[in-house]
Chains A and B, each alone.
Chain A
Amino acid sequence: MLHYILFHQREIGEATLEHIWLVGISILIAVAVGIPLGILMTRKPRLRTAILGSANIIQTIPSLALFGFLLPAPWLGARAERIAIVTLALYSLLPIVRNTYTGIMGVDPAVREAAEGMGLTNGQLLFQVELPLAASFIMAGVRTATVISIGVATIAAAIGAGGLGEFIFRGLAMVNNQLILAGALPAALLALGSDLSLGWVEAGLTPPHV
């Protein structure tokens, strides 16, 4: 097995980079969309059910079906990577949105009152009090989203987006366990590694007194 991985290390390395690229971009998009949505929910409680509901529904669609739905989409369909990135970003929304909301709502009301008493504007309250206090929660959401995405991204090979999933599908076609492992092992290591390193970031963001 080790011999096999060493023999194909260049191919595996390239696929791993592709995998990281797909997951990285999609998480960036999910963060850029998800955190503002989470904040919006704390400001406009009426939107809460709509936003969380949609994120929840997306989560229940099987990934292969979602990839399939987007195949004929106009601009998206022009490149398989675009479909993969949008799908992964959609899956990442729920943990990020929910954790942003929970993190901000979890800020001690006394702290918020004190800040308002000091005359902080809504924007100052958000950026100087609520978000720093909620940062570790939000990071936990990003961490969950990343680990899920690394798994789902292996399916993206089914529509030609590349990544480590290609080894898995190739191994299935050839009835070759070594090939399947050549895709599955690096993907598992990638998930473990990013979980660990994002865990450190999360610990660093936890306010000292909590």
Chain B
Amino acid sequence: MIFKKLAAPIVCALIVCSSCMPQHHDRIVVASKNFTEQAILGEILAQYIEYRTKVPVERRFYLAGTYVCHQALLAGRADVYPEYTGTALTAILEEKPSGNEANVFQRVKSEYAQRFKLDVMPSLGFNNTFAVIIRGEDARRLHIHTLSEAGKYSPQWRAAFGYEFMERPDGYAGLARVYNLHFAQPPKAMDLGLLYRAIKDHQVDLIVGNSTDGLIQALNLVVLQDDRHYFPPYDAVPIVRQDTIRRFPLLKTALDDLAGKISEDEMRKMNYAVDGERRDTPVVAREFLKSKGLLQ
């Protein structure tokens, strides 16, 4: 009998719970990928949108990569997330990594509008390119500054990259071809946050991070110059659903306000504040917005 008695409450509980799932027409959802800079940018977008539009903003940060964020926007789980033009070009549109800043931006903007009904907003002001990184002590001992110079030492090195970098058209395969890199072992793929741990602990000797990563400075690492210009530009741009802009026209104004507001150096400092000084992301974002006079 006990099961008959249980069946009714279980069914009721299911119905109640499924109906009380919040619907998201009355708020804006900001997403970000799973690394520190994205969480800071997400927080900056969220706080400023909240302030400018007075619409409640929900945060969905640390999503597992470009694909998950892109899918979230397409399905309407999220409305806005920060992306990089070069990443949108190669990882989402699957085109060859080439072109200058303006070309890539225009190409991505028109393709996104046509294919996905997504708006690519003006750049936030900095380019976050991939950074091929080695330990500072190695760079000084071997006297190398550029990727071309690093080629001949690569057989003595072990390398590690994020999962995305292994697969992307602007990723490892092309980089290895252009700079003639051959490592001691096949490169390891690991979570982005673990890369810095691995190079610091001498588990690997070369990693590919982002040029604005705060930990580069914090851990005394050196970025090798991309002297053959393998990587396309990666300008940070908010990407937003067109129908969300129709629902909240002020959202476009808010994102336009943020155009050109963050320099590469400012981004690196914010990343360092979070990664190096262990400060809270929302606090770092708020201080930045205040320093720019965008928040009171």
Contact = CB atoms under 8 A, between A and B. Distances in A.
B142 interface: no
Interface in B14-53: 14, 17, 21, 24, 31, 34-36, 39
A175 B10 contact: no
A71 B21 CA distance: 18
Contacts of B197: 175
A158 B64 contact: yes
B283 to A, nearest CB: 13
Nearest to A83: B77
Nearest to B11: A32
B76 A72 contact: no
A200 interface: no
Interface in B152-199: 191-194, 196-197
B209 to A, nearest CB: 12
Contact of B2 (A68, A131, A158, A176): A131
Contacts of B102: none
A137 B100 CA distance: 65
A127 B21 CA distance: 33
Given A80-B60, A80-B72, A160 B192 contact: no
Contacts of A72: 71, 74-75
A17 interface: no
Contact of A174 (B1, B36, B60, B75): B36
A127 B11 CA distance: 18
Given A32-B10, A176-B278, A79 B77 contact: yes
A157 B68 contact: no
A135 B61 contact: no
Given A77-B71, A173-B62, A25 B14 contact: yes
Interface in B242-279: 274-275, 278
Contacts of B4: 127
Contacts of A31: 10
B63 interface: yes
A175 B61 CA distance: 16
Given A28-B14, A32-B11, A173 B75 contact: no
A193 B76 CA distance: 36
Nearest to B275: A174
26 contacts: A28-B10, A32-B10, A68-B67, A68-B68, A71-B71, A77-B71, A78-B76, A80-B60, A80-B77, A127-B1, A127-B4, A131-B2, A132-B2, A159-B63, A166-B61, A169-B34, A172-B34, A172-B191, A173-B193, A174-B193, A174-B274, A174-B275, A175-B197, A175-B215, A175-B275, A176-B278
Interface of B: 1-4, 10-11, 13-14, 17, 21, 24, 31, 34-36, 39, 60-64, 67-68, 71-72, 74-78, 191-194, 196-197, 215, 274-275, 278
Given A174-B274, A175-B275, 18 more contacts: A28-B14, A28-B17, A29-B14, A64-B64, A78-B76, A127-B3, A127-B4, A158-B64, A159-B68, A160-B60, A160-B63, A160-B72, A171-B193, A172-B191, A172-B194, A173-B34, A175-B196, A175-B215
Interface of A: 21, 25, 28-29, 31-32, 35, 64, 68, 71-72, 77-82, 127-128, 131-132, 135, 157-160, 162, 166, 169-176
